[in-house]
Chain A
């Protein structure tokens, strides 16, 4: 991979993070590092706070305690303009795609390009077509989100997340609701983006096939103890972990 030389640098660093809604603590004392070029998996059972952690990482929710660093800059200590600059380097794929329903797919993907680049409308149209083709939606430019299936919405959401060639891509349950072949194609696309563009990827998922196929680092959140119980390559966790909860999760409860 072209970027293996840089793989040691920390892209995201989470330090002593406590997440809470009001006084209700969801997870506490989370500390982990996502390196450049990692495909980092956030896993755990339902309701353990995976999506909430993602909302913290993409800058939508302020930590109750602790810090989140991007390239060694503490995000929540920045001025609003600085925050915007950091967030512009993110691409986020939300659970349902979160496409703007009053715009066509092409307009959805074109919006970030029109806002943040100086490209002319013709160039934007071409870029949009390429991005849609990458997610397997060539020819669907003029469709509205309500006219296509949920899985297609999700893929279009990915095209929008990739519009600005982000440094970090965040995925919330990318393969939920996709057929197995589309899910696999999506996994391949994620790997390809990492390998060719050097994108760092953070994925919230509990799809075991995906976890083992693409993840090279991960954090396991436990709902009962409300903190992380493991960190590392999921394949290694499967081979080496002795924690019964993690073993049971990674083997679908068979061990």
Chain B
């Protein structure tokens, strides 16, 4: 690409463009030409000479657009006549819709204090949204009890299958290993006192009261809560939730309620299953490493546990089920309208769920302790 310029005697500035213009060879700078045009006295007008011009693409278009914009700012008339027809028309086309000036956004960073203030207001707002969401969910639950909630029963059964039976493999694996770890850690200590047999008590009570519910809930938060958030988030992006609303169907009843029910029903069942698998895992260590017989281990476990222990764990599991379902659905419904927002929704649903599981677990443990159970 060649650029040269000259000034005629009648003070016309001629820009000569020649050669092949290809974007692969980069964009030439307009600065030299701009400097010459800006030198006083300003030329009467600017014209182009493209007799030497070969092939061209948008590199030339960009070059010319920039030059023409510069001349316009200096109020120097520019004549397009010397340009090839296609090029002149493209330049006209790009100028056809005026630039939206007020559309430009300020990228100025607000000062520290106002950022703190905004973050605080934001936190207050999001807490409010969370409370409103929980309230709406319980209103929907009330409607369900009165038999007025609208959702598809087939959706509910599908969800129950998804977060019940299909979660069995991962729950089995995790709970057997947790039982095994509990037993192993206990065995090392208890063997010092010759009290290996109490490994059965440790594993049984630990799984039934605490670990069964907690591990199942955490697995379900990662597995199902994130899936809820991603699914509802994508529905938000695709305007599917708006479509429900315009039909007068509450997304709360139609989408959130079945998910909430499915998890609240399935999490305690999965928890019970996890308890038993954990005890099995503990038994493997007891029989394999501590030379206890199967019968010994079984009888010690039965003696240590009663149904209250299981019930306490199952109550926790039910609470966790509500929390996992609500945080998944909440983040999904709050999702923005882009692909990255769906990712954020899934992430934040897992974070919210795990934090609320741990906090509520601590609270429940204290309450159980106060009640003396």
How many angstroms from the CA of A126 to the CA of B57 in the assembled complex? 14
In angstroms, how far is the closest chain A Cβ from the Cβ of B20?
13
**Chain B residues, CB < 8 A from A7:** none
Q: Which residues of A contact B81 (CB under 8 A)?
A: none
- Say if the beta carbon of B290 comes within 8 Å of chain A: no
In the complex the two chains form, is A126's CB within 8 Å of B93's CB?
Answer: no
A130 at the A/B interface (Cβ < 8 Å)? yes
B65 touches A130 (CB 8 A): yes
Interface residues in B81-115 by Cβ distance below 8 A to A read 84-87, 89-90, 93-101, 103-105, 107
Is A138 touching B58 in the complex (CB atoms < 8 A)?
no
- CB of B11 closer than 8 Å to a CB of A: no
CB proximity of B334 to chain A, nearest CB, Å: 14
Kindly state the separation between the CA atoms of A81 and B95 in the bound complex, as whole angstroms.
39
Range of interface residues on chain A?
Answer: 35 or more
CB distance from B63 to the nearest CB of A (A): 9
When A123-B26, A127-B27 are in contact, do A133 and B84 touch as well, CB less than 8 Å?
Answer: no
Q: Please state if B97 and A165 are interface contacts (CB–CB under 8 Å).
A: no
Chain B residues with a Cβ closer than 8 Å to the other chain, count: 36
Q: Is the CB of A133 within 8 A of B89?
A: no
Q: Chain B CB within 10 Å — which of A102, A133, A140, A185 has the most?
A: A133
B99 lies within 8 A of A146 (CB): no
Q: Give chain A nearest CB distance to B96 CB in angstroms.
A: 7
Q: Which residues of B contact A143 (CB under 8 A)?
A: 103, 105
Q: A133-B99, A134-B93, A139-B100 are in contact. Are A101 and B339 (CB under 8 A)?
A: yes
- Indicate whether A189 reaches chain B with its CB closer than 8 angstroms: yes
- In the complex, are the beta carbons of B27 and A123 less than 8 A apart? yes
Name the one of B87, B94, B95, B338 contacting A144, with C-beta atoms under 8 angstroms: B338
- Inter-chain contact A130/B58, CB cutoff 8 Å: yes
What distance in Å separates the Cβ of B139 from its nearest Cβ neighbour in chain A? Answer: 30
Residues of B within 8 A of A119 (CB): 23, 26-27
- Nearest Cβ on chain A to B103's Cβ, whole angstroms: 4
Q: B243 CB to closest chain A CB, in angstroms?
A: 16
Asked whether A240 is an interface residue with its Cβ less than 8 Å from the other chain, the reply is no
Q: Which residues of B from 300 to 333 have beta carbons under 8 Å from A? A: none
Supply 13 A–B pairs (Cβ within 8 Å), ascending by A. Answer: A102-B340, A117-B26, A126-B66, A127-B59, A131-B58, A133-B99, A138-B94, A142-B103, A144-B338, A146-B337, A165-B58, A192-B86, A195-B89
Closest 5 pairs between A and B when the two form their complex, measured CB to CB: A196-B86, A101-B338, A102-B340, A136-B97, A139-B100
Can you name 7 extra interface pairs (CB under 8 A) apart from A126-B27, A126-B66, A141-B104?
Answer: A101-B337, A117-B24, A117-B26, A119-B23, A130-B94, A165-B23, A197-B57
